[in-house]
Structure 1
Amino acid sequence: MTGWIVVVPVKPAARGKSRLDVPGVVRTELVRAIALDTIAAAHACALVEQVVVVSDDGDLVLAALDIPGLRFVPETEPRGLNAAVSSGFAGFEGRPRAALLGDLPALRADDLEAALTAAGAVDRGVVADAEGAGSTLVTASAGLEWASAFGEGSFARHVSLGCTPLAVPDASTLRRDVDTAAQLRAAAELGLGPRTRQVIGSAFDV
């Protein structure tokens, strides 16, 4: 099968994750590190042919230059997460596509590979977050019009769009997104990516 095109939309760190407050840690640096670890894990996935990062965070783009082969699409004005994802897929309509949220600091490439393998058997797929209400990954097979409905309570909306819930284990790192310090601690129990570990240091025991 043709490799997957994975779009990772990333808000500028200054605007992202306002609830992620870890004492002694600069939030913008943490948010950027989480996104970079997510992007690196996607790039390392054997089924992924191209990772497209949609963002207007110039510091993130510079920091990501050590991850080879990324494609960057500037988001010149904030139009919302779903519009950002759609812009990243321009030119890839005939390929299998996946939108991956950029807040998965514990993501492992093999967990993403397992989900994309399952997604290859359905027209549209979705992975629920750890709480079951949100979505961390949405997929569409080659040739289908892209559709996504990220935002609060997105899992049910994605199912209503025709996405098949993918059988991803509860303990999968793909389900552990992070909006709060408590969720970051839960992700740390799965093993954080190197950039996130470096930023949080000894802020809490990981």
Structure 2
Amino acid sequence: MRNRRRHAWTVVIPVKPATHGKSRLEIPGVDRVELARAIALDTIAAAAEVARVVVVTADPTIDLPGVEVVVEPAARGIAVAVADGLAVASTERRAVLLGDVPGLRPADLSDALALAEGTRLGAVPDEERHGTTLVTAREGDLPAAFGPDSWAKHQAAGFAELLVPASSTLRRDVDRADHLVGVLGPRTSAVLARVP
């Protein structure tokens, strides 16, 4: 099942340059730029286990084997990055995943994509149900609307909630230090482990 989904879905992951990312994520003793990069790479690596992944970024250090990278000349905002990524994806089975889900288990993304097969437009809210971590389109346009209160915007745009369990790691995006809980990816864990 997982191998079939790997070929069926293209997941676009927009990533800010680490120097600009996670500006609210200040942890004493931790290099914020290094942490932001680790969070993005852990998210990308998990997604790449179950889907074709297209990363859109202006950060030349964001690269992993087997992942396609669309290099932006400069960071131009999430809407432009998403549009650039979708432009190189097929018109069927496309998704956008935010690059700040460092505890993502591949099986949780695989389960969400399986649910997405049953709806034209699907979305997963974060734990607080203010933001959105994943949007999907089985076919046709994918009118993503990330930014403040994106969950309400996606609902208003006709996205159906993909009913993943409350415990799904897909719901655990990271914006603040208190979001860095539970099992995290190896790169993020390694950065945090160096805190004195």
Interval of TM-score (by shorter of Structure 1 and Structure 2):
over 0.9
> Structure 1: which amino acid aligns with 2:170?
L
**Counterpart position of 2:29:** 24
1:86–1:146 CA contact under 8 A, matched in 2: no
Task: Report deviation, 1:182.
Answer: 0.6
1:58 counterpart SS class: coil
2:170 counterpart SS class: helix
1:97-176 to structure 2, matched below 5 A, reads 97-142=94-139, 144-176=140-172
Aligned counterparts of 1:173 and 1:38: Cα–Cα separation in 2 = 11
**Counterpart position of 1:54:** 56
User: In the superposition, relative to structure 1, how do residues 40 and 97 fare at CA in structure 2: closer, same or farther (>3 Å)?
Assistant: same
Alignment deviations for residues 68-114 of structure 1 (CA, whole Å, 9 cap, x no partner): 32111012233321221111111424221000000011000000011
What TM-score, normalized to structure 1? Answer: 0.89
Aligned counterparts of 1:78 and 1:106: Cα–Cα separation in 2 = 25
Alignment deviations for residues 5-41 of structure 1 (CA, whole Å, 9 cap, x no partner): 0000000011011110111110000000000000000
2:10–2:90 CA contact under 8 A, matched in 1: no
Q: Which runs of 5+ in 2 are unaligned?
A: none
1:71-90 to structure 2, matched below 5 A, reads 71-90=68-87
2:40 counterpart SS class: helix
Aligned counterparts of 1:91 and 1:196: Cα–Cα separation in 2 = 29
Task: Report deviation, 1:202.
Answer: 5.0
Aligned counterparts of 1:84 and 1:102: Cα–Cα separation in 2 = 12
Aligned counterparts of 2:122 and 2:79: Cα–Cα separation in 1 = 16
2:13 counterpart SS class: strand
What TM-score, normalized to structure 2? Answer: 0.93
* Cα RMSD after superposing both structures: 1.4
**Counterpart position of 1:199:** 191
1:41–1:108 CA contact under 8 A, matched in 2: yes
> Structure 2: which amino acid aligns with 1:145?
D
Aligned counterparts of 1:203 and 1:128: Cα–Cα separation in 2 = 31
Q: Which runs of 5+ in 1 are unaligned?
A: none
Q: Which moved more, 1:2-11 or 1:98-107?
A: 2-11
